[in-house]
Each structure stands twice: as C-alpha cells, then as structure tokens.
C-alpha cells in the first residue's frame, strides 16, 4: 500500500516524547516542527520530520496538501457523559436566578430527570440520539473519546447504555473508550424507606459489575466520590471490586469540597482523578507523587458560573500530570467544543499553550491507558491527526469558540469530507 504524506504544513505539533503522561514541567514543549511532514503507512505513522527529508524517503507516496496550516495529533477527550436522552436547557436560567441543586431537583430537573428519561428510552432510540453528538464532538478535532454510562443506575439501563457505546464504536470510525459509571448517584428508589444506599452499593458490586465485565462492555469503572454522593469507603469498595474484576479505575473527586478523593485516587493507583476544583494541598501532593493523571474540566465550572477553578498551576508546578477534557454532559457541561476547553485552560487555569495541547493529547491518552497508541505524532503511533485552520498553534485557543478543525484522520482514514484535496 502506498504511503500518505501530509505536506505543506506551517507547523506539525508532534507532542512527541516518551509513551507516558508528562508530569510537571515536562509539558513546556509541544514538539513543534516548522514545515514538517508526516508519513502514514496504513493505520500507523511511519515517520515525522522535515518535508524535504520525508519526501525523499517516500518518493511514490500520495501527497495530502495541508495548505500551510497546523497539523496535530487528534485530540483525546478523556471524560464525557455522552450517553443521555434529552437535554436539560431549562435548568440554566433557574441556576442563574439562584436556584440550587435541590430546588432544580424539586422542579423535576437534575441528574434524576436524566435517569428517568434514559430508562424510558429503547436502546435504538438512545443510539439515534447519541450518534450525532459523538459526530459533533469529533468534528471539533477529537479522535479518541471516553464515554461513560451513569444515567441508567439499574442493571438493565447501565447495560443498555454501555451496549449503545459499543454499537457507536462499531459504527463510527472515532475511537471510543467505554467507562462504567454505575456509581454516578444513588438512584431515587434506593433513598426511601425500602432499600438504602448500602443495597445500591451491593447491587453495583454483586450484580452490575459482573454483568459489565462478562459482556466486556467497559474498560474503566468510575465513581462519583463527593460528600452527599458516594463516600470514600463506598468508593474504595466499588473500585477495589472493579479492579479485581479486571477494569481500570477512575474517580470523580473533590469537585465541590475537599474530602480526600484525590488522595484516595493516588492510593488506589487510579488512572485518573477528575474535576479537582476543590482539591486540598495534601491532594495535590498525593497526585504529584503518584502515577494518577489529574483530569481538569474547566468548562463545567464556567457553565455553572463558579469562580473557583482547579489549581492547575499548583498541580503542574508540584509535578503532577494534568489532562483536560470537555465533561460533555446534559447538566453541567453541554459543550462539544474541546478547543474551547483549551482556551479555558490558558485563560482560567493559567496553563501555557504547550501545556494545554499536551493535556489534550498525550495526557488525555495516559488517562485512558493509551499513551503508547494515541496522542502523539510519532512513528508507530496510530495515524490519528487533526488539521487546523491556523498557521500557529497559539491561534487554536485564541479564536475561542470557533471551530477551526478542518478535518481529522483516524487510523489513516479521513473522518469528514472537508479534507483538502490530494495534490
Ligand atoms: Zn463527569
């Protein structure tokens, strides 16, 4: 098979380096090659280097003219809740007018309304509503997307959600990574005078987890570890069981209050601890000393109108590995625009442009256990690329809210029809 050469770039942002998360100040360099070229052999990258050298090396290759633009690895969105039914736009004005979580729930909103809605939908219906959302996420430059269950909260509805992810994975070229988040919330039927939260934790561990693993429906298990949701002990029990059953583990931790979620993630060796807007000094130190990636979701805090953001600088300066993600979900972060999250990384989290790119590629991949496969333009990596309508990498977070992604390739194949003609 002939090789493909991506040529006539202004910058090739390689994000190249070792096949693991970049910690602390390892992220100061995004590995930019001016007038570089990328050679692709089938599904994988064969070579990256100066254009003349690569063209000499592959004289018979098919040329893809990048039009003097920026070429980067496809983005890795390592935290989404993309399997949901109806949107929840009516909650935004209520929140702006000062309604709290309880008031919104009393008016029929909040996560329990998403649960009630998802339970009513058939698997086909859920697939139909999810498909364009995934395509839209991908159109902004993401080629790898983690997708969680977590609006089912029953055996049948969690399995239904995960089967939809599996079907999306089969039918779309985008690389999806399924995460089981049965521990997203305690469902309403476990809150009355009948079965209680302990029974729900038992259901998660004894019935839902084995069914998820038996059908190979998830790569990771995740728990919403937060006061009022799942306690540290419950989180530990669910994640210990999940790990023993062969799943990788993740936590939603310290989003609203510091209560030891980050420390628990580090202790358990979780692949990532996510949110962390309220992480403590001890939590920062624990993550910095661990292999756990700190996944920050600044879009959520922006959308909720909170003034507090996760302390990205303290995490990076302390030596932690930081990833960024959209947290795409119907309640607190209904955005499909990952580059906008990069803007927030710079303007709200005070990260550099190199840091936000590494956070959205190499470190996102590490947060999914894929750091040796995706997130870099380097020989042997999957040929997952994004072409940007920009001459300089700094334009991507600068033109905030704009869709600058001209096209993506996954395993060497173009995802959209908006790619440039082959010359
Ligand atoms: Zn989340």
DSSP string, 318-367: HT-EEEE---BBTTTB----HHHHHHHHHHTT---HHHHHHHHTHHHHHT
Rounded distance, CA 326 to CA 249, Å? 19
Given this model, what pLDDT does residue 1 score?
Answer: 61
Q: Per-residue pLDDT for 269 more than 50? A: yes
pLDDT at 274: 98
Instruction: State the distance from the centre of ligand 1 to the C-alpha of 192, rounded, in angstroms.
Output: 26
Checking if the pLDDT of 420 tops 70, the result is: no
Confidence of residue 126 (pLDDT cuts 50, 70, 90): very high
pLDDT value at residue 421: 42
The rounded mean pLDDT for the chain is 95
Cβ-based neighbour number of residue 399 at 10 Å? 15
Cα of 195 vs centre of ligand 1, distance in Å, is 26
224: CA distance to ligand 1 center in Å? 8
Question: What secondary structure does DSSP assign to 205-245, as a single string?
Answer: IIIIHHHHHHTT--SEEEEEESTTSB-HHHHHHHHHHHHHT
The pLDDT value given to residue 146: 98
Q: How far is the CA of 8 from the centre of ligand 1 (A)?
A: 39
Calculate mean pLDDT across residues 275-303: 97
Pairing of strands 385-388, 62-73: antiparallel
Taking residues 126-155, what's their average pLDDT?
96
How far apart (Å, rounded) are the C-alpha atoms in residues 297 and 273?
11
Mean pLDDT of 194-200: 92
Q: How far is the CA of 49 from the centre of ligand 1 (A)?
A: 38
Helices (H), ranges, 58-96: 90-96
Please enumerate in sequence order all residues whose Cβ is within 8 A of that of 355, keeping only pairs 6 or more positions apart, or say none: 27, 28, 316, 322, 345
H or E stretch covering 203:
helix 197-203
Rounded to the nearest whole angstrom, what is the distance from the C-alpha of residue 217 to the centroid of ligand 1?
19
The pLDDT value recorded for residue 422 is 27
pLDDT digits (tens, 9 = 90+) for 365-392: 999 999 999 999 999 999 999 999 999 9
What mean pLDDT do residues 1-11 have?
92
pLDDT at 419 over 60: no
| Ligand 1 centroid from CA 81, angstroms | 6
Give the lowest-confidence range in 27-31, 32-36, 107-111, 144-148. 107-111
How does residue 416 score in pLDDT terms, banded at 50, 70 and 90? low
For residue 347, the CA-to-ligand 1 centroid distance in Å is 22
- Determine the distance separating the centroid of ligand 1 and the alpha carbon of 66, expressed in angstroms: 35
- Taking residues 232-261, what's their average pLDDT? 96
167 CA distance to ligand 1 middle (Å):
22
Q: Collapsing DSSP states into helix, strand and coil, what is residue 413?
A: strand
Q: Return the minimum-mean-pLDDT range out of 99-113, 279-293, 402-416.
A: 99-113
Q: Please give the distance of CA 277 from its chain centroid, rounded to a whole number.
A: 17
What are the structure tokens assigned to 349, written together? 């989290």
- The backbone region for 378, taken as left when phi is positive above 0, alpha when psi lies in -120 to 50, beta otherwise, is beta
Closest C-alpha to 175, from 420, 423, 419, 408: 408
Cα(255) to ligand 1 centroid in Å equals 10
Model pLDDT for residues 50-94, shown as the tens digit of each residue: 999 999 999 999 999 999 999 999 999 999 999 999 999 999 999
Q: Give residue 194's pLDDT band: very low, low, confident or very high (50, 70, 90).
A: confident
DSSP letters of 103-172? Answer: HHHHTT-SHHHHHHHHHHS-HHHHHHHHHHHHHHHHHTTEEEEEEE--S--SHHHHHHHHHHHHHHHHHS
Using the mean position of ligand 1's atoms as its centre, give its distance from the Cα of residue 178 in Å. Answer: 13
Section 282-307 average pLDDT = 96
Ligand 1 centroid from CA 65, angstroms:
38
Expressed in angstroms and rounded, the spacing between residue 274 Cα and the centre of ligand 1 is: 7
Question: Pick from 162, 170, 183: which is nearest to 118 by CA?
Answer: 162
Residue 351 has pLDDT above 80, yes or no: yes
Q: Could you say which DSSP state residue 382 is in?
A: B
Report whether pLDDT(27) > 70: yes
Percent of the chain with pLDDT over 70: 98
The DSSP bridge partners found for residue 385 are 73, 409
The phi-psi region of residue 308 (left if phi > 0; otherwise alpha if psi is between -120 and 50; otherwise beta) is beta
- Whether the pTM exceeds 0.95: the reply is yes
Distance in Å, CA 326 to ligand 1 centroid: 9
Q: Which residues of 299-335 are buried (b: 16+ CB within 10 A; e: fewer)?
A: bbbbbeeeeebbbbeebbebebbbbbbbbbbbbbbbb
- Ligand 1 centroid vs 333 CA: distance in angstroms? 9
pLDDT value at position 47?
Answer: 98
Give the distance (Å) from ligand 1 centre to CA of residue 327.
5
Q: Rounded to the nearest whole angstrom, what is the distance from the C-alpha of residue 70 to the centroid of ligand 1?
A: 30
36 alpha carbon – ligand 1 mean position (Å): 37
CA of 3 to the centre of ligand 1 (A): 40
Distance from Cα 223 to the centre of ligand 1, integer Å: 9
Distance, CA 229 to ligand 1 centroid (Å)?
13
Residues belonging to the chain: 423
- Quote the ligand 1 centre to 252 CA distance (angstroms): 6
pLDDT score of 381: 98
Give me ligand 1 centre to Cα 258, in Å: 17
Using the predicted structure, report yes or no on whether residue 409 has a pLDDT greater than 80: yes
């Amino acid at each position: 098979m002939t090789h493909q050469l991506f040529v006539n770039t202004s910058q090739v942002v390689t994000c190249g380096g070792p096949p693991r998360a970049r910690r602390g100040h390892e992220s100061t360099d995004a590995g930019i090659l001016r007038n570089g070229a990328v050679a692709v052999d089938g599904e994988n990258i064969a070579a990256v280097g100066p254009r003349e050298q690569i063209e000499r090396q592959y004289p018979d290759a098919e040329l893809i003219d990048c039009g003097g633009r920026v070429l980067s690895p496809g983005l890795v969105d390592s935290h989404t809740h993309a399997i949901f039914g109806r949107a929840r736009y009516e909650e935004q004005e209520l929140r702006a007018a000062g309604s709290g979580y309880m008031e919104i729930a009393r008016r029929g909103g909040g996560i329990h309304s998403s649960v009630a809605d998802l339970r009513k939908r058939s698997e086909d219906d859920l697939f139909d509503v999810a498909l364009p959302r995934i395509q839209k996420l991908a159109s902004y430059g993401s080629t790898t997307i983690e997708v969680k269950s977590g609006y089912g909260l029953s055996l049948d509805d969690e399995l239904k959600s995960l089967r939809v992810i599996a079907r999306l994975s089969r039918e779309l070229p985008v690389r999806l990574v399924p995460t089981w988040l049965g521990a997203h919330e305690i469902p309403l039927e476990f809150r009355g005078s009948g079965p209680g939260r302990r029974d729900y934790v038992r259901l998660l561990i004894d019935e839902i987890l084995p069914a998820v693993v038996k059908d190979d429906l998830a790569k990771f298990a995740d728990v919403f570890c937060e006061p009022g949701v799942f306690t540290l002990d419950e989180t530990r029990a669910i994640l210990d069981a999940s790990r023993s059953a062969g799943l990788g583990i993740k936590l939603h931790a310290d989003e609203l209050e510091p209560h030891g979620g980050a420390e628990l993630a580090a202790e358990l060796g979780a692949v990532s601890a996510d949110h962390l807007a309220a992480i403590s000094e001890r939590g920062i130190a624990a993550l910095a000393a661990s292999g756990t990636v700190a996944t920050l979701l600044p879009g959520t805090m922006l959308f909720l109108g909170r003034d507090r953001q996760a302390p990205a600088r303290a995490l990076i300066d302390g030596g932690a590995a930081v990833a960024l993600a959209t947290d795409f979900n119907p309640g607190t972060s209904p955005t499909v625009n990952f580059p906008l999250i990069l803007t927030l990384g710079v303007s709200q989290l005070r990260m550099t442009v190199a840091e936000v790119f590494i956070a959205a590629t190499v470190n996102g991949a590490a947060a999914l256990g894929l750091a040796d496969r995706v997130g870099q333009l380097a020989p042997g990596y999957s040929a997952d690329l994004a072409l940007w309508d920009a001459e300089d990498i700094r334009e991507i977070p600068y033109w905030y809210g704009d869709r600058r992604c001209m096209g993506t390739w996954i395993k060497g194949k173009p995802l959209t029809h908006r790619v440039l003609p082959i010359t």
